[in-house]
Amino acid sequence: MRAQDPEFSQFYANPLYLNPAMAGVEGTAKVFLGYRNQWPGATNPYSTYQASYEQYLEPLQGGIGIHVMNDRQGGGVFNTISLDAVYSYHLQVSRELMVTGGIQASMGHRNMSPVGLVLPDELAGNPVTTLTGYSRIYPDFSVGFAGFYRNLFGGVAVHHLHQPFTGASDNPNTRLSRKFTAHVGAMIPI
């Protein structure tokens, strides 16, 4: 299972998930609650719950944040829970330019439970496949940078820096691949 991060259509609603450098950039405390139900008509849809809190702290010259997410795939056959702590240093270069650099340290838990899973050989009345579940806890780290100039902003982030193992074994195929993010935007007054 590689490149298995959930994707969201409204990614700017939760900037901590997008880029750790975005923590606290709005200057005030912010709470985010999110839910995604992908393919609700399917027998076992994907569902993701997430919550985050972030704020700017003057003594730290930056923002802090915490993010928790539960991603359930196949009706809970695959389940991933992550808890992230984020810090972003803010450097005010000029009155109109700010650059930020952020780090994220996470603990993840991924498990697979084959209960309720029906495999093709079982449908043929000839069950030969035996699956056992697994559970794995792993650390994860990400970094990001962002810049803000007047009403323009943008940034880059690298998630899963050390590509942690998330499967039942240390097989290279069970590594969580790095995710590269680039984003740009503008605040347009109405």
Q: Which residue has the tokens 């919550």?
A: 51
| CA–CA gap between residue 159 and residue 167 (Å, rounded) | 18
94 or 42, which is more confident: 94
Q: How many CB atoms lie under 10 A from the CB of residue 93?
A: 11
Looking at residue 116, its pLDDT comes to: 65
For the chain, which domains are there? 11-186 (2.40.160)
**This prediction's pTM:** 0.85
Query: How is residue 121 annotated by DSSP?
Result: H
Percent of the chain with pLDDT over 70: 89
Q: Are 14 and 65 in contact (CB under 8 A)?
A: no
Phi/psi of residue 176, nearest 5 degrees: -85, 110
**pLDDT tens digits along 73-83:** 877 788 999 99
